[in-house]
Amino acid sequence: MIPTTHPDDATMARIAAGMLLEIGAVHFNAREPFTLASGLPSPTYIDCRKLISYPRIRATLMDFLTAKVLREAGFEAFTNIAGGETAGIPFAALVAERMGLPMTYVRKKPKGYGRNARIEGVMGEGDRVLLVEDLTTDGGSKVSFVDAIRETGATCNHTAVIFYYGIFPETAETLGALGIGLHYLCTWHDVLAEARRRHAFDPETLSEVEAFLTDPRAWQAARGR
């Protein structure tokens, strides 16, 4: 069944943030910061992969994400749903099932044998593809996936994620240069607000996280990175 009637964006963001906190997907640690893929420190880390192990939460979030995409992009905007390897694959399958559309996935690089393919499944000329992943930080990982999709002759003008960092200004520039619209459920600001409401972390940690979210580059520079 295609979900079409769901709460407004702000309510979905609050519920989604609460679910991520509930399953322990959110990690805050200002004293011993995490290292991002960029090599830079961060007092925040999120593990959206945990969602696949919680059926009720997983189903609700996929209903939310599908409804948001349909509202924002249109009900007949897509003919194919593609997941980015690896975290995006299960979520793409769940969204494709809800939309009643074919599902494919995109490898990070050619597999090195056989057809040496990057696209698994059926995708080609004329397909209108929605790229699904678990999250986006600065949008950089989307470039390679979108290029691989477009090399098939398909178009890809939209990506959907559960979680968007929402703190790096270059994200809009990166995706804008690709001609990609971003659809998401919640950001770090939504999670911080819900964490405060639930008293999920001590006040000192929450204040440090807020400082990072307000100016991440200054926070990192202050720690010599």
Q: Give the model's pLDDT for residue 97.
A: 97
Instruction: Specify the DSSP element, H or E, that contains 129.
Output: strand 128-136
Q: How far apart are CA 92 and CA 11, in angstroms?
A: 23
Q: Give the model's pLDDT for residue 104.
A: 98
Residue 52's CATH number: 3.40.50.2020
pTM of the model: 0.93
Q: Give the model's pLDDT for residue 170.
A: 86
Which of 74, 63, 57, 59 lies closest to 23, judged by CA? 57
| Structural domain contains residue 1 | no
The tally of domains found in the chain comes to: 1
Q: Tell me which residue range forms the domain holding 184.
A: 9-221
The tens place of each residue's pLDDT in the chain, 225 residues long, gives 677 678 999 999 999 999 999 999 999 998 899 987 767 789 999 999 999 999 999 999 999 999 999 999 999 999 999 999 999 999 999 999 999 999 999 999 887 665 668 999 999 999 999 999 999 988 778 899 999 999 999 999 999 999 999 998 888 888 988 899 999 999 999 999 999 999 999 999 999 999 999 999 899 888 865
- Got the DSSP string for 147-206? HHHHHTT-EEEEEEEEEE----THHHHHHHHHT-EEEEEEEHHHHHHHHHHHT-S-HHHH
Residue 48: how many CA atoms within 13 Å on its side-chain side?
28
| Structural domain contains residue 65 | yes
Q: Give the model's pLDDT for residue 181.
A: 95
| Structural domain contains residue 100 | yes
| Structural domain contains residue 67 | yes
| Structural domain contains residue 63 | yes
Q: Give the model's pLDDT for residue 168.
A: 87
Q: Give the model's pLDDT for residue 116.
A: 67
| Structural domain contains residue 128 | yes
Tokens describing residue 81: 């749903």
| Structural domain contains residue 213 | yes
